[in-house]
Amino acid sequence: MNCTHCNATGFLNTEYLPEGLLKQGVEVILKWIADHLKAEVQVCDCCGDGEEWYGTPGEHYTTNDPIGYNGPYAYNGGLCECH
């Protein structure tokens, strides 16, 4: 399931990224964020915790992102925020 909170990008506030950077991949964006600490761009707080992803950036409920009461969404009844 794609995360609708970040439009399946894995990041919030992507409108503040330089043009074309979003297409360069996760590692490039993470480096940009680290170099621009005052920027509004961050890891999505729905498919991640604002700093790291629970599984695949921009996605929910993969084998790397377990569902249920033992998974990262246990606080929300096992469902992601945008479910």
Confidence of residue 78 (pLDDT cuts 50, 70, 90): confident
> pLDDT, tens digit, for every residue of 9-21?
999 999 999 999 9
pLDDT tens readout for residues 35-70: 998 999 999 999 999 899 988 999 988 776 566 667
Considering the entire predicted model, what is its pTM?
0.86
User: How confident is the model at residue 67, as a pLDDT?
Assistant: 61
Q: Give the bridge partners for 42, in sequence order.
A: 12
